[in-house]
Structure 1
Amino acid sequence: MGEKKFHFAWIVLIGLSIMMGVARGGVNNAGGLFLSPVSEDLGIGIGSLSIYLSISSIITMLFLPLAGKMLAKYNIRGLLIFGIVLQAGSFALFGFMKSVWGWYILSAPMAFGAIFITTLAGPVIINRWFKKNNGLAMGLMMAAVGLFGAFIQPFAGNLIAEQGWRNAYMILGVGAIVVIVPVILLMIRKNPEEKGLLPYGMKDGKDADFNPEENVLRGVTFADAKKSLAFFSMLLFLFFMTAIGSFAQHIGPYAIGTGYSIEFAGQVMGSFMVGMLVGALVFGFLTDKIGARNTGYMSMIVGIIALVLLIFVPGNPVVFSAAIGMFGFVTASIGTLGPLLTSAIFGNKEYGQIYATIGIGLAVAGIVALPGYGFVYDITGSYTLVLYMIIAMLIINIILITLAFKGKKNLEEKGLYN
């Protein structure tokens, strides 16, 4: 089936967008808004509390490859329902906890569920459903994360202020399950074969301009990829990109530490989400137009400008909001550019396995960066040192993108890309 009729791929994309928007844009990103009120209420440092985010990252690192295999083997809707109940259910249970140990323990099931919902399902399913407009589809899905987050984050900030953090955890967690489970059941399918379709943009043998070569999935095998310069460059790119993006969980405490209110922190997280929305759309569109490499360079440069503004003009609320919005634009790189760079470098032949393994870089960064930023703040009383560290990581990433594409060229010259 060609693109002349409406293709079910777009229904799948809408379903993935709602799922990712609520789970990642809402539940995941709202976590940072709770750090200040919870640590104050329980009488512990932000660094100590944010260790739970580290534990989440360790669980993600350990179970990403297993989750990649499970997605390939089992019923995807069953896995996704299991995932959201674990992720959002654990988040809701935080509202009942009286000791920091509650966060440490519940972070494990929360992270395991989130691997399926917020990390793997989107890129893997989009790669199966979209032969054409892959970048656009990925961009639209991640834009939804920003769009939903732009509404949910200010709502969460107000909810914490009005209802207290305990009720806010419960309302957000249970709400996510109620919204996402029907979406999974009605809109998401593992691959086009389940609906008797070809992927969007793949030509039918009956089409006049059919060329069987176009339908072949090209790329590098996982066995060859994991020994390459490109693989290690991408692993490190995702490591630093996630370390950069991890600062999102500290935007709330950073805003409050700079002298702003919890309501303003919620609004600023809304700006961050709008930035993510714009970034995801721009990255998806530009990757299709000018390629993943040039889009990656542009993203890192925007990030450097945003950080410079935060370092030198933190007291102006308009500049602060704009800089956080630009930072949101850049962090869209994790969910959009990461997968698109991976498919641009390694192709689609064994994409799921390659991306799941490179994704370990995502997890390791969280283990180090999330509590690390909190402890830097606890020790120095400010996030300034953290902002300088992030600028250094953005510069390193420009070098890593260059090395990754050099590695791709090596793979092609060895005849491993076919």
Structure 2
Amino acid sequence: MKSFTFRDENGKFYFGWWIVLAAAIFCGLVYSGIVSVTGVFLMPVTQSLGLPVAGYSFYITIMSLTNIVTLLFISKYLNERNIKKIMIVAGILGIVSFIGFAMAKSLMWFYIFAIPQGFCFGAFTMTPCQILVSNWFGEKARGRAMSIFLAIMSIITVILMNALNYVILSYGWRTGYVILAVCVAICVLIAFKAVVWSPAQKGIKRVGDLDESEMAAMQQGEVSGIGFAAALKKPITWLAFISCTLAVIVSSSILQHGIATMVIGGISQTKATALISTMSLVMIVTGPIIGIICDKFRLSVAAAGTALFFALAVFGLAYTGTAAWGTPVFMIGYMFGVPAINIISPLMMSHMYGEKELGRLIGYVNVFVGIGGAIGATAVGVLYQTFGAYHIPWLIMTGVLVVVAIIRGICTSSKRKYTELKEQ
């Protein structure tokens, strides 16, 4: 079978592409509904209920910590027998969480319902969806299938963000949360029909698998690299993990506070939402550009460069509303800086330690990413209340990203590159 095709060996439309579409819908509506569109709600909710920004933002910390615990607990149960059941239960809890938010009368409502939302985030969105897409596409087609999945997800996110902004401004934030509950309900119904563990369950061959000669050649060579336990003994490993946490502290805080910063700076919420969503669309192109730089040039160029672009973005955000160049600098820096999160972070591990136990190392990367998500929004909320404006908090975050650039430049240097001849 061809390595990349839309049909199976029987000439029918390959079911794996329905998996890709379903995964994109789940993440576009549920993942984005939980984290990517939170900034649309911040000002309407806090002003309506008279809530402190830091206090409201803290629900994201509770949600993120629940997500980390969920991933640690369910990872061994995401298998052929259980994945659909787990996703459906998680989806139902997601519906409950958004209905709870819609009924909120105080901060405690958000804190309580952030717990089922965290379970939904971990057990229904990115992790199980990535597993399903990987199961349905072999090595020759998996990268393209993943890129299509993420591209469709980005488009859905943009539509959702702008639609929610219209709903909130026209009908109120409570209606916005009800809409998100309906979106999760639709995804649960799709999951009943679409979630299938692998092509074997459908009795068809997987698209993109290596042929017999390629498999034999691959099996002759032993995967090289430094073991997981040995890697954890190196201080540089923990420094790399910390850089992931620091980078996500900033990215998660932008998701929560970016739109609010623009609105305070004199930009309407509708325009601010449109600007943020436009960046999401453009990143469909800028992400692959960063990937090409990683492949064609030294990884250190992309690793330090993306962190510095991200720092430039946050520096621009600090001057949004007070300088004409603030918003354009933020947008350009953000589009080329965000790949520091989802592209550079895992590549650091393979650069330093090879392929031997890369999966376990990337698992640790995701844990530290989750820690950053738990800290970011609340940290900037506290800083905002302390200084009475977003200017100083974003300058502090700029400094954080400069530190990330330095750490990643060290981690991805030629001195740190793993080779079989230089196993440390």
TM range, smaller chain: 0.7 to 0.9
Name the SS for the 1:131 alignment partner: coil
What is aligned with 1:3? 3
- 2:388 corresponding residue in structure 1: 381
- 1:236 alignment partner in structure 2: 242
- Equivalent position of 1:304 in the other structure: 311
In the aligned structure 2, how far is the partner of 1:220 from the partner of 1:126?
Answer: 28
- Residue identity matched to 1:64: L
Kindly state the Cα deviation for residue 367 of structure 1 after the two structures are TM-superposed: 2.9
Structure 2: gaps spanning 5 or more residues: 9-13
Q: d(CA) in 2 for partners of 1:286 and 1:189?
A: 36
Return the alpha-carbon distance in structure 1 between the equivalents of residues 348 and 131 of structure 2.
14
**1:99 and 2:106 equivalent?**
yes
Task: Report how far residue 300 of structure 1 moved.
Answer: 1.9
Shift of 1:11: 4.4
Instruction: Give the Cα separation in 2 of the matches to 1:133 and 1:283.
Output: 20
| Structure 1 pair 161–282 and aligned structure 2 pair: CA distance change class (3 A) | same
**Matched residue type, 1:362:** V
Q: Is the 8 A contact 1:33 1:266 kept in 2?
A: yes
Report 1:28-39 matches (<5 A): 28-39=35-46
Aligned equivalents of 2:275 and 2:307: distance in 1? 21
Identity of aligned residues (%): 22
Displacement of 1:386 in angstroms is 2.0
* Aligned match for 2:62, one of 29, 39, 55: 55
- Report if aligned partners of 1:143, 1:278 keep a CA contact under 8 Å in 2: no
Structure 1 residue 326 displacement after superposition: 4.0
1:196-215 to structure 2, matched below 5 A, reads 201-205=208-212, 207=213, 211-213=217-219
Say whether the 8 Å CA contact 1:140–1:284 is kept in structure 2: no
2:250 aligned partner, one-letter code: I
Equivalent position SS for 2:374: helix
Give the Cα separation in 2 of the matches to 1:369 and 1:78.
Answer: 32
RCO comparison, higher one (Cα < 8 Å, 6+): 1
- In 2: Cα distance, 1:126 partner to 1:341 partner: 23
Partner of 1:366: 373
Q: Residues 378-417 of structure 1 correspond to what in structure 2 (within 5 A)?
A: 378-405=385-412, 409=417, 412=420
AA paired with 1:382? A
Of the structure 1 ranges 40-49 and 138-147, higher mean CA displacement relative to structure 2 is found in 138-147
- TM-aligned CA distance change 1:338 to 1:279, over 3 Å: farther
Residue segments in structure 1 that go unaligned for 5+ positions in a row: none
**Count of residues in correspondence between the two structures:** 414
Deviation at 1:235, TM superposition (A): 1.6
**Which of the two has higher C-alpha Rg?**
2
Could you tell me which amino acid in structure 2 is paired with residue 381 of structure 1? G
- Between stretches 143-152 and 365-374, larger displacement belongs to 143-152
Structure 1 Cα separation of the partners of residues 115 and 246 of structure 2? 23
**Counterpart in 2 of 1:266?**
273
| Structure 1, 237-246 or 363-372: larger mean CA deviation | 363-372
CA apart distance, 1:102: 0.5
Classify 1:92/1:12 alpha carbon distance in 2 versus 1 (closer, same or farther; 3 Å).
same
Deviation of 1:113 (Å): 1.4
Partner Cα distance (1:57, 1:209) in 2: 40
Structure 2 CA distance for aligned equivalents of residues 317 and 184 of structure 1: 46
2:84 to 69, 77, 80: 77
Q: CA deviation at 1:98?
A: 0.9
Stretch deviating more after TM superposition (294-303 or 193-202): 193-202
* Cα drift, residue 111 of structure 1: 1.0
Normalising by structure 2, we get a TM-score of 0.83
Kindly indicate whether the alpha-carbon contact (under 8 Å) linking 2:80 and 2:197 is maintained by their aligned counterparts in 1: no
1:141 to 129, 139, 149: 149
Relative to structure 2, which stretch is displaced further, 210-219 or 153-162?
210-219
Alignment CA distance shift 1:215-1:147 (3 Å): farther
Task: Indicate the residue corresponding to 2:159 in structure 1.
Answer: 151
The aligned amino acid for 1:358 is V
Which deviates more, 249-258 or 1-10? 1-10
Q: C-alpha offsets along residues 249-278 of structure 1, whole Å, 9 cap, x if unaligned? A: 111221222123332332233234224433
TM-aligned CA distance change 1:324 to 1:193, over 3 Å? same
Measure, in 2, the Cα distance between the counterparts of 1:16 and 1:346.
Answer: 31
Letter in 2 for 1:117: F
TM-score by length of 1: 0.84
Q: Offset at 1:86?
A: 2.3
Determine if contact 1:136/1:281 at 8 Å carries over to the other structure: no
- SS of residue paired to 2:78: helix
Structure 1 segment 101-250 matched on structure 2, within 5 A: 101-128=108-135, 129-132=137-140, 135-178=143-186, 180-191=187-198, 193-194=200-201, 201-205=208-212, 207=213, 211-213=217-219, 221-229=227-235, 231-246=237-252, 247-250=254-257
Deviates more, 1:210-219 or 1:243-252: 210-219
**Closer, same or farther: CA 298–190 of 1 in aligned 2, 3 Å:** farther
Matched position secondary structure for 2:233:
coil
SS of residue matched to 2:210:
coil
Residues 190/346 of structure 1: CA separation in 2 closer, same or farther (3 Å cut): farther
Q: Which of 335, 338, 341 is the equivalent residue of 2:345?
A: 338
Equivalent position amino acid for 2:163 in 1: F
| CA spacing shift, 1:92–1:266, aligned 2, 3 Å | farther
Conserved in 2, the CA contact under 8 Å of 1:2 and 1:200? yes
User: Could you give the per-residue CA deviations for residues 277-327 of structure 1, whole angstroms, max 9, x where no partner exists?
Assistant: 334443455555557554333322322332333334535688626624642
Kept in 1: contact 2:84–2:191 (CA 8 A): yes
- The alpha carbon displacement at 1:345 in A equals 5.2
Native 8 Å contact 2:261 2:317 kept in 1: no
1:21 equivalent in structure 2: 28
